[in-house]
Amino acid sequence: MKRILLTVGSIVLLSGCGIGENSDQSEKKNETVQEENQNSTEKQQNQTEQNHKPQEEKKGEANEDKLTLEAAYFNKIAEVDGKKVIQNPENILVLVNKEYGLPDGYAPADLVRPNVAFSFGDQDIEKSYMRKEAAMALEKMFTEAANHNLQLYAVSGYRSYERQVEVFNNEVQNVGREQAVQVVAVPGNSEHQTGLSMDISSASANSALSEQFGETPEGKWLVENAHKFGFILRYPKGKEAITGYQYESWHFRYVGVESASGIYENGLTLEEYFHVVEKI
């Protein structure tokens, strides 16, 4: 009878109890198991002694591990003047929405201009920039699209706080504040300010940012393939009550390949993904 060794974290479970064996075999097996357990215990004790460190140092390492986990998956929030302000905005998975905003004056330190086609040509302007990791991933995605005879255009990437003020105020003047907040982020709460988002269109959509882009070959390809490059469709149709924004077929957000794949495969929004990870 085979013994199955299952490891769950640091807990080792043994199964397969020798049913049908005679007593001598069972006794010998019990002795063998006891010897193995004793040897295992001695090895663990030796390993513990070899790796033993002062209590304060071990405590520091534990805190560091926790901080690393939080930096990878969670917003660190501080209440500032009644607002929830993100304290780790450099986090690739940073969740910026109507509830969580960026610190005053925040601007990414690693903005670069990706080598892709832009709807406005070669103009070197603010919205042509992204954070370096996201920009490199965007280049790969655009190249792969071109390999499938699909022409993508980058339309709008990084947007400073000051520029967001202009965009938001213009929308308020056009449709009023109540409707404006459904389509444009309040300054300080825009994903574009993170440098991790890019609005994308195509020649078939006349480089426009509209829902119709989602019906084009390019838009459909992006929905099915963007996660392979670390991007997600940030504001999908049917999820408006969760994201707080209307469907935007053109707005893609970089979160890294691993997270993007999980979000895509499970049909989640970034908000829902955060809730799932928090429960793990």
Mean pLDDT of the chain: 80
* DSSP run (H or E) holding 211: none
- pTM above threshold 0.75: no
Task: Taking each helix axis as running N to C, give the angle between helix 270-279 and helix 55-73, from 0 to 180 degrees, rounded to the nearest 10.
Answer: 150
pLDDT of residue 220: 98
Q: Residue 70's CB: how many other CB atoms inside 10 A? A: 13
Phi, psi (deg, nearest 5) at residue 79: -85, 120
Lowest mean pLDDT among 15-24, 56-65, 161-170, 239-248: 15-24
Are 12 and 5 in contact by the 8 Å Cβ rule? The answer is yes
- Domain 107-279 is found in CATH 3.40.190.10: no
| DSSP β-bridge partners for residue 156 | 199
DSSP notation for 21-69: --HHHHHHHHHHHHHHHHHHHHHHHHHHHHT---HHHHHHHHHHHHHHH
Phi, psi (deg, nearest 5) at residue 11: -95, 125
Residue 56 has pLDDT above 50, yes or no: no
Q: Which pLDDT band, with edges at 50, 70 and 90, does 125 fall under? A: very high
> Among residues of the chain, what percentage have pLDDT more than 90?
62
The domain limits of the chain are: 4-50, 107-279
DSSP notation for 151-184: -EEEEE----HHHHHHHHHHHHHHH-HHHHHHHS
Phi, psi (deg, nearest 5) at residue 255: -135, 0
Q: For residue 13, with 0-12 CB atoms within 10 Å meaning exposed, 13-18 middle and 19 or more buried, which class applies?
A: exposed
Convert the pLDDT of each residue in 228-248 to its tens digit: 999 999 999 999 999 999 999
Residue 58 has pLDDT above 70, yes or no: no
CA–CA gap between residue 261 and residue 240 (Å, rounded):
21
pLDDT of residue 106: 95
When pLDDT is averaged across residues 28-41 and rounded to a whole number, the result is 50
∠ CA 271-269-149, nearest 5°, is 145
